[in-house]
Chain A
Amino acid sequence: MANRVAIVGVGQTHHTGRRLDVTGVELINEAVQRALEDAQLTRDDIDGVVIGNMDHFEGINGVECWSILGNGGLNKPTIKLTTGGTTGSTLAMGGYHMTASGYFEKLLVIGWEKNSESDTTGAITTAFDPIWDRPVFAGAVSGLAAEARFYMNKFGVTEKDAARAAVRDRKHGANNPYAHMRKEVSLEQVMRSPMLADPIKAYDMCPRTDGACALIYAAEGAAEKICKTPAWIHTVTNRHLYSYLSDTEWYPLVSLQEAAKEAYSNLGVKEPLKEFDVMELYTPYSMANLSWIEALGLAKQGEGARLIEDGATEMNGVLPINPSGGVISTNPIGATGLIRAGECALQIMGRAGARQVQGAKKALSTGFGGCMWSDLLIYGADKPN
C-alpha cells in the first residue's frame, strides 16, 4: 500500500519574458530557496531531488547534472523527468510516486524553463518525429489551431466563445503577483489581436516565459509536522495517446477524458462541477478552456462555451478555474504543469493571497503535452482514504 503524501512547501519565481540577470542554475535556485523557506526546511532535510525541463529549449542537456549547485541535489539522490509539455505535471506525479513508495520522506520537486534562450516554436518542433512530422509541423500553435478549427466546425463554436476564456484567464492573471502577463484585456482586444494561426490570435495563446517552480513533498508523519494545512494528494492518473500526428483524433481529448474517468472512479467523484472547489488546468490557449473541460465532465459535448459565458468558472462562480491566470498568463514550459500543482496546494493551504478561493478544500490540476497526452492530479485538505 502506498504512503500518503502531501505538498508542504511551494516556491516559484516572479515569472517574466526574459531573465537576463540569472543563468538557469540561478533561476532554479531562486525557486528552491523560496520552497525551502516556505516549508521552513533546509537542504539538509531533503532526501532527494527530482528536476525537469525540456532540454531542447536551452540546448543544454542533462539538467540534473549541470544545475546541481542550484537544485539542492549535491551528494543526494537526484533524477530528471522530461515528458515534453507535460514535464511539470509529470514531475508532480513522479514526485508523488517517489514519496508514496516509502523510499523518500521529504522530496524536492523542481520544474523550470528559460524559454528566452531559443526560438520556442523551432525548439518544440524538434520534439517531433523527424521523418513524418517535423518537415511540415509548426510547433504547438499549429497543432492547437488544427484542433480548434475541428472543434469549432463540429459544434458551431465561435472565436468569440474562445475569447471569453482568454478574458477570464487574463483577468485572473492580473491578480497574481507571480504571473508573467498581468494585464486585463477586453473581449474586443482579444478579437482584434494579431492572428497567429487561424483561429488562434495572440491574446488567445500562452506566452513563452522564463521561470521556475519548486515544491516540497512529504510523506504522512512528516507532512503534518512541516505544514499546518498540507495539501494531500488524493490520486494521480495519466494517459499517453500516440506517436504520430497523423493518427490524432481531434475531438474529444481522449487522454484527458480517460485520465479523468479513472481519477473520478478512484475517488467516487460523480458531479465534478459541484464537488471541486477550484481547478488549475493546463489550457495553453483559449479554446482548450471550452473543449477540454468537456473531457473533464464539467460540461456536455459542445457546451463548454456556455459555462464560460455564464461566469461559472470565474472567481465568484460555482467552480473557479485558473485563479492564477493559467498557462495563458505564465508559461515556463518545464515548470508550467508543476505551477498548476503548486497553485492547487496554495489554495488548499489557504495561502493563495488575492487569488484565494475561499474555503477551498478540493482541487484538481492537469498537464498537457505534445502527442495530445494528459496528466491529472487531485488534492484535498483531508487525508486520502
Chain B
Amino acid sequence: MAQISPTKRKNRPLTLSSGDAFQPFRYSVGRFGSKFLVALRDEKKFLAVKCGECSRVYSPPHPLCGPCYKKMDQWLEVGPLGTLTTFTILRFQFIDPETGQKKPVPYGYGFIKLDGSDTNFQHFVSLESGEDLHIGMRVRPVFEETRTGDIRDIRHFEPVPGD
C-alpha cells in the first residue's frame, strides 16, 4: 500500500459508511400473485390469466391487461416447458440487494415464453450442461425441494436435453 504523508492524510476528505444497517420490508403479493405462487409451491404448476378482450395470456398473472385496461379473470395453466426469447450471461460482480451479498457469477439470465403464454417469464438459466444458450432454445424448470411461495421456488430453468 502507498504511504500517505501525515499532512496529506489530515487533509483527505472523510467518508461515513452505513455499515451493516439494513431496513427489512414486507410486501403484499396480492390475490393474483398469491394464487400463482401457491400453485407453483404446492403443485409445481404455472398459472396464467387471459384477457377477455385481446386474448393475451399473462404468466406471471396480473389483475389488469395494460393495453386493454380491463380486469382479467380467466385462469389457465401454461408451461412448464418454454422457449428462450432472449438471454444474457452475467459476468460482473454486484451486490444483490435481496441478500446484501455479491451474486455468484457467471450465471444465465433469460426470458422464457412458457408454452401457452404470450409474456416472458424471467428467471435464471443454468449453464451447468455446458450447452451454448441460444434464442429459440427449449427449456424446463428445475424446482427447489423446499418451496416457500416465492419465484425462487424455481431454482432455474435448464435446456431440455436432446432438443
Q: Is B39 an interface residue (CB 8 A)?
A: no
Q: How far is the CA of A209 from the CA of B12 in the complex (A)?
A: 20
A265: min CB distance to chain B, Å:
21
B111 near A146: Cβ-Cβ < 8 Å: yes
Using CB atoms, name the residue of chain A closest to B119. A246
Residues of A within 8 A of B110 (CB): 146
A134 near B97: Cβ-Cβ < 8 Å: yes
Residue of B12, B111, B121 with highest tally of chain A CB at under 10 A? B111
Q: Is B69 an interface residue (CB 8 A)?
A: no
Known contacts being A20-B15, A247-B58, A248-B120, is A198 close to B88, with CB within 8 Å? Answer: yes
A323: min CB distance to chain B, Å:
29
Q: How far is the CA of A243 from the CA of B121 in the complex (A)?
A: 14
Residues of B within 8 A of A200 (CB): 88
B91 near A196: Cβ-Cβ < 8 Å: yes
Q: Which of B25, B60, B66, B97 contacts A125 (CB 8 A)?
A: B97
Q: How far is the CA of A244 from the CA of B91 in the complex (A)?
A: 24
Residue of A59, A136, A137, A243 with highest tally of chain B CB at under 10 A? A136
B94 near A146: Cβ-Cβ < 8 Å: no
Q: How far is the CA of A131 from the CA of B36 in the complex (A)?
A: 12
Q: Which of B58, B85, B91, B94 contacts A121 (CB 8 A)?
A: B94
Q: How far is the CA of A122 from the CA of B96 in the complex (A)?
A: 6
B91 near A197: Cβ-Cβ < 8 Å: yes
Q: What 0/1 readout, one digit per residue, does chain B (26-47) give for beta carbons within 8 Å of chain A?
A: 0101000100000000000000
Residues of B within 8 A of A126 (CB): 97
B97 near A122: Cβ-Cβ < 8 Å: yes
Known contacts being A21-B13, A149-B86, A149-B135, is A134 close to B98, with CB within 8 Å? Answer: yes
Residues of A within 8 A of B109 (CB): 136-138, 142, 146, 197
- Size bracket, chain A contacts: 35 or more
Interface size in chain B (residues, C-beta < 8 A): 40
Known contacts being A119-B94, A153-B135, is A197 close to B89, with CB within 8 Å? Answer: yes
Q: Is B81 an interface residue (CB 8 A)?
A: no
Q: How far is the CA of A311 from the CA of B32 in the complex (A)?
A: 51
A119: min CB distance to chain B, Å:
4
A147 near B60: Cβ-Cβ < 8 Å: no
B65: min CB distance to chain A, Å:
10
State the total of A-B contacts with C-beta under 8 angstroms: 115
B58: min CB distance to chain A, Å:
7
Using CB atoms, name the residue of chain B closest to A199. B88
A195 near B91: Cβ-Cβ < 8 Å: yes
B120 near A246: Cβ-Cβ < 8 Å: yes
B156: min CB distance to chain A, Å:
9
Residues of A within 8 A of B29 (CB): 131
Residues of A within 8 A of B120 (CB): 245-248
B92 near A146: Cβ-Cβ < 8 Å: no
Interface residues of B in 70-90 (CB under 8 A from A): 85-90
Q: How far is the CA of A331 from the CA of B42 in the complex (A)?
A: 45
Residues of B within 8 A of A244 (CB): 60, 62, 119
Residues of B within 8 A of A195 (CB): 91
Q: Is A264 an interface residue (CB 8 A)?
A: no
Residues of B within 8 A of A197 (CB): 88-92, 109
B145: min CB distance to chain A, Å:
18
B40: min CB distance to chain A, Å:
12
Q: Is A132 an interface residue (CB 8 A)?
A: yes
Known contacts being A142-B90, A149-B88, A197-B89, is A130 close to B60, with CB within 8 Å? Answer: no
Known contacts being A130-B27, A142-B90, is A246 close to B85, with CB within 8 Å? Answer: no
B86 near A243: Cβ-Cβ < 8 Å: no
Q: How far is the CA of A72 from the CA of B160 in the complex (A)?
A: 60
Using CB atoms, name the residue of chain B closest to A147. B86
Q: What 0/1 readout, one digit per residue, does chain B (94-119) give for beta carbons within 8 Å of chain A?
A: 11111000010000011100000001
* 26 A–B contacts, CB within 8 A, in A order: A120-B94, A121-B92, A126-B97, A130-B27, A131-B27, A131-B151, A134-B97, A136-B122, A138-B90, A142-B109, A145-B88, A146-B87, A146-B109, A146-B110, A153-B86, A153-B135, A195-B91, A196-B90, A196-B92, A197-B89, A198-B91, A199-B88, A200-B88, A245-B120, A246-B120, A246-B122
Which residues of A are interface residues toward B (Cβ below 8 A)? 20-21, 59, 119-123, 125-126, 130-139, 141-142, 145-147, 149-150, 153, 194-200, 242-248, 250
Which residues of B are interface residues toward A (Cβ below 8 A)? 12-13, 15, 18, 25, 27, 29, 33, 58-60, 62, 66, 85-92, 94-98, 103, 109-111, 119-124, 135, 150-152
